[in-house]
Amino acid sequence: MKILLVEDHKLLSRSLKQALEEDGFAVDLAVAGDEADAKARGAIYDVVILDLMLPKIDGLTLLKGWRKDGFTFHVLILTAMGTLEDKVLGLNLGADDYLPKPFELTEFLARVRALVRRGHQAKDPILRIHDLEIDTGARSVRRAGKDIYLTPREFSLLRFLCYHRGKVVTRSMVWEHLYDENDDNTSNVVDVYIRYLRNKIDKNFTPPLILTRWGEGYMIKGD
């Protein structure tokens, strides 16, 4: 689950990035309009969090351009301009959600998660596979009634696999969705995290849920 955070206030972007990462999202940052445009067009994002008052190119212009060019990622507008007109205008231009500043961090994260769910046509925040339950809201995982602790990365990987259940997920897909621009491009990391995940989810349970498709990637069992 990869997110582009477009915000020019340093402290805010830093805090939001950290919060999102702790929730298991990969976060790319952009502080100016042109930079945001380049990143949004050059990578795959589940959600773009967009401030409107930006240096160089303002947020609404960016949004219009993206929607015109067929980009379908979800956009959450995050702005100090919170009047009704501003909200209506933003939503009418193709935004999926609108959050005026200042806001509660929990609300912000909930809205981001909701947008991610919407991207995968999932209404239920709890993903269930066999006896495995993944609560995307509470960021908790249980199997056969036992709580399992996962790091943000592990959780992120598991959630990604679950959203693509029954389908093969390639290493590059995992890479693109789970790692931000600052991570080194070594696809080994994916294998390492798959092993960690297997140790926590499959080791003491049957049947194994994470399957390996040699030469292709990984897959979580469908129903």
Q: Interface residues with another protein (CB under 8 A)? A: 8-12, 14-16, 18-19, 22, 31-32, 51, 53-56, 79-82, 100-106, 108
- For another protein, the closer CB: 80 or 144: 80
- At its nearest, how many Å lie between another protein and the CB of residue 5? 11
- At its nearest, how many Å lie between another protein and the CB of residue 58? 8
- At its nearest, how many Å lie between another protein and the CB of residue 14? 7
- For another protein, the closer CB: 53 or 192: 53
CA atoms within 13 A on the CB side of 80: 6
CA neighbor of 3 nearest in space, from 38, 50, 37, 35: 50
CB atoms inside a 10 Å sphere around CB 179:
20
- For another protein, the closer CB: 106 or 121: 106
Do residues 172 and 57 lie in contact, with contact meaning Cβ atoms separated by under 8 Å? Answer: no
- For another protein, the closer CB: 24 or 217: 24
- At its nearest, how many Å lie between another protein and the CB of residue 123? 26
Strands (E) in the chain, as ranges, are 2-6, 26-30, 47-50, 74-79, 97-100, 126-129, 132-135, 140-143, 146-148, 169-170, 210-213, 217-220
Could you identify the residue written with the tokens 């495995």? 132
- At its nearest, how many Å lie between another protein and the CB of residue 16? 6
- For another protein, the closer CB: 150 or 209: 150
Do residues 48 and 112 lie in contact, with contact meaning Cβ atoms separated by under 8 Å? Answer: no
Its sign, for the CA torsion 7, 10, 15, 18, is positive
